[in-house]
Amino acid sequence: MLNEILSIKNLAGEEIKKACNLKDIQDIRIKYLGKKGVLTGRMKSLGSISKEDRPEYGRTLNESKNFIEDLLNRQEEQFRSTELNQSIQTQRIDVTVPGCFVPFGHLHPVTQTLDEITAIFISLGFNVEEGPEIELDFYNFEALNMPRDHPARDMQDTFYINDDVVLRTHTSPVQVRVMEKNIPPLRVIAPGKVYRCDADVSHIPMFHQLEGFMVDKDIRMTDLKGMLELFVHSVFGIDTSLRFRPSFFPFTEPSAEIDISCVICKGTGCNVCKGTGWIEILGAGMINPRVLEMSGYDPDLYTGFAFGLGIERVAMLKYGIDDIRLFPENDKRFLEQF
Ligand code: DAH
């Protein structure tokens, strides 16, 4: 009888050694120690053993049960830690794996150009001012020496809100607004949106301008030339030439239109400069004494220059873009190129 228990114990020991995983361990536990297990059966029949043999038989049974239990527990522990290690290995987070790519946005090419130009004039000591986009007819036209029914108003196709209010057609009204509230010396740029009822490859109804002006005693046309030369050289390169052509604006006298040597063909002639080698980029002049006077300045004491520049036009030349309508379209395939 004792031998039988010892051989059960040995058999269980063998099986535990051969077990491959937690499932095997569980099966062996049930087989020997479960409710209907081999050793449990022997325990139950302890009562039928003679009194003399019972203590030793009982002890051997208990020892065998403890032995098997202990062995099962150790093996189970072993499998558990192997399993844990395996899952740590396979589920390890590799922090060096590249993450999901989130595309970066960037500033619109018009904003980039505007920021670049603004930075140049700030470095020359200019302050940035802003004016309203919904503007009084008075500031947009009258105070700039364009009374009602003046033919020069036809140069700018205007969106009228009513007889006295317009969407500003240019940034020049900021000149008057700033002069009204400040005394010279003034060195100001006024960037912003302007509106004209016009649309084709080189015109859109909403675009951007940058107005610049300087007012003080003894400001001369040469100051304007020097500033503009510096600006053009910073944006388009030092080998770009400038050309001042006489022109007319009611708010400047004398007035000029400024051309730069074609940035595409370097002046030899191409379809961008229509074979002339020159491209017009801005309007400028000495502020008309009447405008100074209407803004409350004594034109005998103060003089000033002013210029107005289209930002989209500069961006088109800088990046070689041939259709202004691409800017407000906001097609990502276009924007991603800048
Ligand atoms: N305001 C003019 C326009 O939009 C541009 C301009 C021309 C502005 C000459 C000026 C200037 O300050 O002096 O057509």
Q: Taking 90 as the threshold, does the pLDDT of residue 45 lie above it?
A: no
145 and 259 assigned to the same domain:
yes
Any domain includes 94:
no
Percent of the chain residues topping a pLDDT of 90:
74
Count: domains in the chain: 2
Smallest CA separation from ligand 1 atom 12, residue: 307
Ligand 1 centroid vs 287 CA: distance in angstroms? 10
What is the per-residue pLDDT across 73-93, written as a single tens digit (0 to 9) for each? 999 999 999 989 888 888 888
118 and 158 assigned to the same domain:
yes
What is the per-residue pLDDT across 113-168, written as a single tens digit (0 to 9) for each? 999 999 999 999 999 999 999 999 999 999 999 999 888 888 889 999 999 999 99
User: What is the residue type of 141?
Assistant: F
260 and 114 assigned to the same domain:
yes
Higher per-residue confidence, 103 vs 208: 208
Domain boundary among 58, 89, 120: 89
Any domain includes 26:
yes
Q: For the whole model, what pTM was predicted?
A: 0.72
Cβ 310 under 6 angstroms from ligand 1? no
Cβ 109 under 6 angstroms from ligand 1? no
Please report the pLDDT score of residue 154 as a whole number. Answer: 81
58 and 121 assigned to the same domain:
no
The helix/strand/coil state of 297 is coil
| Average of per-residue pLDDT across 81-110 | 89
| Average of per-residue pLDDT across 21-44 | 90
What secondary structure letter does DSSP report for 249? E
Residues 189 and 281: their CA atoms lie apart, in Å, by: 17
299 and 251 assigned to the same domain:
yes
Q: Taking 90 as the threshold, does the pLDDT of residue 176 lie above it?
A: yes
Any domain includes 127:
yes
Please report the pLDDT score of residue 195 as a whole number. Answer: 98
Please report the pLDDT score of residue 44 as a whole number. Answer: 85
Residues 90 and 92: their CA atoms lie apart, in Å, by: 6
Q: Taking 90 as the threshold, does the pLDDT of residue 94 lie above it?
A: no
Tell me the pLDDT band of 56, cut-offs 50, 70 and 90. confident
Tell me the pLDDT band of 2, cut-offs 50, 70 and 90. confident
233 and 331 assigned to the same domain:
yes
Q: Taking 80 as the threshold, does the pLDDT of residue 1 lie above it?
A: no
Q: Taking 90 as the threshold, does the pLDDT of residue 183 lie above it?
A: yes
Helix (H) or strand (E) holding 225: helix 221-236
ω into residue 109 within 30 of 0, thus cis? no
- Which atom of ligand 1 is found nearest the CA of 175? 12
Residues 56 and 42: their CA atoms lie apart, in Å, by: 13
61 and 136 assigned to the same domain:
no
Mean pLDDT is highest, among 19-23, 108-112, 153-157, 272-276, for 108-112
Any domain includes 171:
yes
- Which atom of ligand 1 is found nearest the CA of 156? 14
Cβ 131 under 6 angstroms from ligand 1? no
**Adjacent-strand bridge partners of 282:** 258, 309
- Could you list the residue range(s) of the whole structural domain that residue 26 is in? 2-89
Ligand 1 centroid vs 252 CA: distance in angstroms? 8
- Mean pLDDT in the chain? 93
80 and 119 assigned to the same domain:
no
In 3-state terms the chain splits into helix, strand, coil percentages (rounded to 5) of 45, 20, 35
Tell me the pLDDT band of 39, cut-offs 50, 70 and 90. confident
Please report the pLDDT score of residue 99 as a whole number. Answer: 87
Q: Taking 80 as the threshold, does the pLDDT of residue 330 lie above it?
A: yes
> Tell me, what CATH number does 114's domain have?
3.30.930.10
Ligand 1 centroid vs 196 CA: distance in angstroms? 14
65 and 124 assigned to the same domain:
no
Domain boundary among 55, 89, 123: 89
Percent of the chain residues topping a pLDDT of 70:
100
Residues 17 and 25: their CA atoms lie apart, in Å, by: 10
Q: Taking 90 as the threshold, does the pLDDT of residue 215 lie above it?
A: yes
What is the per-residue pLDDT across 184-196, written as a single tens digit (0 to 9) for each? 999 999 999 999 9
